[in-house]
Amino acid sequence: MPNWVIEGLIATSPRPGYTPGSEHRVPEETVEEWLSDVLDFGISSVICLLAGDQLWLYQKSLPQGLLDRYREAGLEVAHVPTLDQLTHPFTPEQYEEAWRAFQLLPKPVLVHCSAGHDRTGRIVSHILGRLGSD
């Protein structure tokens, strides 16, 4: 379920089907439930931070891929991929890529990685910092 950071502007969420512990393939129904929740929440766009180490979890149930499924559901999508479990997951260029995507995407924008905390929090903090300085 999405959570507002700034209502009507930016939200966060875990990825579809996230559960703590070992990762497992995510069934299509789980993605569809997530999409329904996100769309009901009023989200227009997604900045997805998942890299190939987690996108593979959707290959079997979504032959078109997770990002294209988001697009098919009517969401605008930006993809700033980075691996999970890194001490410094983003380069300065990736932070700026996320900021530019946020500026261009229709609002509200949902940012997600896997759990919706570490990588998501870093990108959202960067966006909030840029909003405050602009």
134: confidence class by pLDDT, cuts 50, 70, 90: low
Q: Which domains does the chain have, with CATH numbers?
A: 3-133 (3.90.190.10)
Cβ within 8 Å of residue 100, ≥6 positions away: none
What per-residue confidence (pLDDT) applies to 80? 98
The DSSP code sequence of 81-129 is ---TT-SS---HHHHHHHHHHHHHSPSSEEEE-SSSSHHHHHHHHHHHH
Per cent of the chain over pLDDT 90 is 88
Mean pLDDT of 78-106: 94
What per-residue confidence (pLDDT) applies to 34? 98
- Residues in a beta bridge with 76: 45
